[in-house]
Amino acid sequence: MSVSPAAPPGSLPINRLGEPLLRRLSGVLDRAAPGRGWRDLAQRAGSHGRVKLSSLELEQCSLKVLEPEGSPSWSLLRLLGERGCTVLELMEFLQALEHTEALQYLSPPGIKIVVQPDPKSVLSGQTVKLCCWATGHPFLHYQWFKEEKEVPHGNSPELIFNPVSVNDSGFYICRVNSDSSFVFSRWAQLDVCDLQGVSYDFQEQSADRPSAIDKVALLIGNMSYWNHPQLKAPMVDVYELTNLLRQLDFKVVSLLDLTESEMRNAVDEFLLLLDKGVYGLLYYAGHGYENYGNSFMVPIDAPNPYRSANCLCVQNILKLMQEKETGLNVFLLDMCRKRNEYDDTILILDALKVTANIVFGYATCQGAEAFEIQHSGLANGIFMKFLKERMLEDKKITVLLDEVAEDMGKCHLTKGKQALEIRSSLSEKRALTDPIQQTGSSAESLARNLQWAKAHELPESMYLDFKCGVQIQLGFAAEFSNVLIIYTRIVKKPPEILVCKAYVTDFPLDLDIDPKEANKGTPEETGSYLVSKDLPKHCLYTRLSSLQKLKEHLIFTVCLHYEYPGIDDSLDERKEVNVGKPLIAKLGIHHGFEENCCMSNRPFHTQASTPVAAEYYLSPNHCQPNSYPGVHHPNSAHSDHFRQPEACHCNVTLNVLTSRQEVWTCSSHIRKNNIPVETTDDTVDLGFSFSSSLRLSKKQ
Catalytic amino acids?
287, 336
- Residues 16 and 86: their CA atoms lie apart, in Å, by 9
Choose among 626, 657, 73: nearest CA to 304: 626
Q: Provide the residue count of the chain.
A: 700
Residue 208: strand, helix, or coil: coil
Helix (H) or strand (E) holding 232: none
* Distances, alpha carbon 553 to alpha carbons 508, 581, 588, 682, in Å: 9, 5, 11, 32
Torsion, CA 422, CA 330, CA 606, CA 265, rounded to 10: 160
Nearest CA-CA partner of 387 in 420, 418, 428: 420
**CA-wise closest residue to 116 among 680, 669, 618:** 680
DSSP-assigned letters across all residues of 139-159: S-EEEEEETTEEPTT--SSEE
Which 8-state DSSP code applies to residue 80? Answer: H
Facing residues of 501 across strands? 561
> Three-state SS for 330?
strand
Contacts of residue 138, Cβ cutoff 8 Å, sequence gap at least 6 = none
Q: Are the C-beta atoms of residues 409 and 265 closer than 8 Å to each other? A: no
Cα 143 to Cα 157: distance, rounded to the nearest angstrom: 8
What SS3 class is residue 358?
A: strand
Q: Which residues, 6 or more positions from 519, have their beta carbon under 8 angstroms from its beta carbon?
A: 488, 503, 504, 505, 540, 541, 542
Euclidean distance between CA atoms 593 and 565, whole angstroms: 58
**For 51, phi and psi rounded to 5 degrees?**
-115, 15
Closest alpha carbon to 655 in 680, 679, 638: 638
Say if strands 251-256 and 215-221 run parallel, antiparallel, or are unpaired.
parallel
DSSP 3-state assignment of 454?
A: helix
Distance CA 314, CA 282 (A): 9
Name the nearest CA neighbour of 259 among 220, 299, 287.
299
CB within 8 A of 153, min separation 6: which ones?
Answer: none
Whether the Cβ atoms of residue 697 and residue 625 lie closer than 8 Å to each other: no
Q: Percent helix, strand, coil in the chain (nearest 5)? A: 25, 25, 50
Q: Closest by alpha carbon to 664, among 284, 238, 220, 234?
A: 234
Cα–Cα distances (Å) from 466 to 8, 248, 473, 539, 576, in that order, read 38, 45, 11, 18, 12
Contact present, 262 and 590 (Cβ < 8 Å): yes
